[in-house]
Amino acid sequence: MATILFVVKATIRTDREDAFNRWYNEEHVPHVLQFKGLVSARRYKALEGEETYQYMAVYELQDEATYRRFIASEHMKTLRADYDARFGAVSQRARFAYTQVWP
């Protein structure tokens, strides 16, 4: 079974960046990881080559079926609603999903 990477990229207004990072690291990621089948979560900040999004979160899920369950779940709806309530007006974000093709 191939693992799935679910990638969320975001840009946050400078005056909300500290609160965003604190919330993401201390609340959001631990909440995401409660979903059964979610293997790992990592966050990154762009150094170069990215002109739209300054942050990227990469979540690894055990397989495509888990990813599909996660995206359609109440868990995900809650995560999105929390993000939108806290940072929706001061950020931009995009979501991507990738399946492993090699090795």
Alpha carbons 22 and 19: distance in angstroms, whole number: 5
**Is residue 16's pLDDT more than 90?**
yes
Structure tokens at 52: 């739209």
Alpha carbons 8 and 94: distance in angstroms, whole number: 6
| Structural domain harbouring 51 | 4-99
Single-letter amino acid, residue 52: T
Q: Over the stretch 18-51, which tens digit does the pLDDT of each residue have?
A: 999 999 999 999 999 999 999 999 999 999 999 9
Of the candidates 103, 98, 90, 102, which has an alpha carbon nearest to the alpha carbon of residue 10?
Answer: 90
Average pLDDT over residues 58-67: 98
In total, how many domains does the chain have? 1
pTM: 0.95
Q: Domain holding 9: CATH number?
A: 3.30.70.100
